[in-house]
Amino acid sequence: MKKNIDEIAKQQRIVLYDGKCKLCNSWVKLIIRHDKAQQIQLAAVQNSIGKALLNWAGLPEEEIHTLVLIDHGKVSIRSAAILRVMAYLPFPWRACAALRLFPRPIGDFFYDAVAKRRYQIFGQYNQVNALQADHPHRFLS
């Protein structure tokens, strides 16, 4: 499986997200709704491929408090991941990618403030929420 994960990570654009987090699920729904070119695949960090990709990226499998983008082998986390994903979506979402011009520590400060309190603010599901895919290969499992 190691070789397979390495190939997946280097050949695809994947967003890893917390499948129990209601805010994260809303983010995934936004991606599904607006990524008509089907450029981004998705994996919950709670499933086996999500955990394997976290491990591949050198991130902890448990207590992950960030969105992760693996873009053809390049790993982005926190605010950088969100803004890079926005760059792949159509206007007006793509325009949000211009926020990358702000210093990353500022973006990460706000990202962390929400990420650490996301369950208290937005709630969580008891188990990984099953989302509807817009095409058969959207979710990695």
| 109 Cα distance to chain centroid | 18
More confident residue, 124 or 101: 124
User: In what order do the strands lie in the sheet containing 13-17?
Assistant: 41-44, 13-17, 68-71, 74-77
Q: Where are the domains of the chain?
A: 2-122
Euclidean distance between CA atoms 109 and 64, whole angstroms: 16
Tens-place pLDDT, residues 12-31: 999 999 999 999 999 999 99
φ/ψ (deg, to 5) at 115: -60, -40
- The fold of 2-122 is Glutaredoxin (3.40.30)
Q: What is the mean pLDDT of the chain?
A: 90
Q: pTM of whole model > 0.85?
A: yes
Name beta bridge partners: 46.
none
**11 pLDDT above the threshold of 70:** yes
Q: How far is the C-alpha of 16 from the C-alpha of 71, rounded, in Å?
A: 11
